[in-house]
Amino acid sequence: MSSNQQPFHTLSIIIPVYNERATIEDVIRSVTSVPVPLKREIVVVDDFSTDGTRELLSQVSVPAGNSLRLVMHDQNRGKGAAIRSGLEQVTGDIVLVQDADLEYDPHDYPKLLEPILEGRADVVFGDRFHGGPHRVLYFWHFQANQFLTFLANLLTNLNLSDMEVGYKVFRTDVIRRLKLTSNRFGFEPEVTVKVAKLGCRIYEVPISYHGRTYEEGKKITWRDGIAAVYFLLKYKLLG
């Protein structure tokens, strides 16, 4: 997919959140403090949190020069559904997905945005394992990630290093061409297959990664890994 370079004015940051009362304020504070050469629009989608996150969000404010929009789901629908709700609200030229925990560092925004701002990319994936500092955690999680990335590459003829990474950035006009349907963590394989089918110019950049343990609140499980295989095959073979 080729595209003429155009000026970019606003970065829309979608933050899907579910039961992250302990971290959401720090995440929003970090998102609004990192220097980027664009105006910032923050869309927080609470996916029916039950730990007080919703009540806390109603009291959060952001510094001047940033806008904050809250979307509240009336039932828990999953990360993919929360991102779709956020996409309905964004008005910026570039969309970045930011998880609501502290695993991903907004200080990586400048290098994530650079390939798009320079007109070289339509989509940018972060890469947690090649270049940036990352917390050392679970062996089997890493092996599962490598297998899912290999399978995604096999099905799409890409050479990604980290398909399941949470940091993904899109030109808004590109992501709006994708008909996204998955609700939970199927967003990652679905969007990967669909940007490949669209012929998007995809770049990767190394990012830092501060993974959490399950005791610290990590939510993804082995069931999501099995689901990712299903979604990769579904969206590749059935569209």
CATH number at residue 16: 3.90.550.10
| Residue 132 is assigned to a structural domain of this protein | yes
Contacts of 96 (CB under 8 A, 6+ apart): 11, 12, 13, 14, 109, 112, 113, 167, 168, 169, 170
Provide the residue range defining the domain that includes 23. Answer: 10-237
Q: Count the helices and strands in the chain (H runs, E runs).
A: 8, 7
CA geometry: angle 46, 106, 212, nearest 5 deg = 70
| Residue 181 is assigned to a structural domain of this protein | yes
Pairwise pLDDT comparison (223 vs 62), residue with the higher score:
62
| Residue 2 is assigned to a structural domain of this protein | no
Percent of the chain with pLDDT over 90: 74
Mean per-residue pLDDT of the chain = 91
Question: At 10, is the secondary structure helix, strand, or coil?
Answer: strand
Quick check: pTM over 0.85? yes
How far apart (Å, rounded) are the C-alpha atoms in residues 35 and 214? 32
Contacts of 150 (CB under 8 A, 6+ apart): none
| Residue 4 is assigned to a structural domain of this protein | no
| Residue 1 is assigned to a structural domain of this protein | no
> pLDDT tens-digit profile of 169-181?
999 999 999 999 9
> pLDDT tens-digit profile of 190-217?
999 999 999 999 999 999 988 766 666 6
Q: How confident is the model at residue 3 (pLDDT cuts 50, 70, 90)?
A: low
Question: At 109, is the secondary structure helix, strand, or coil?
Answer: helix
pLDDT at 221 (0 to 100): 78
- How many domains is the chain built from? 1
| Residue 86 is assigned to a structural domain of this protein | yes
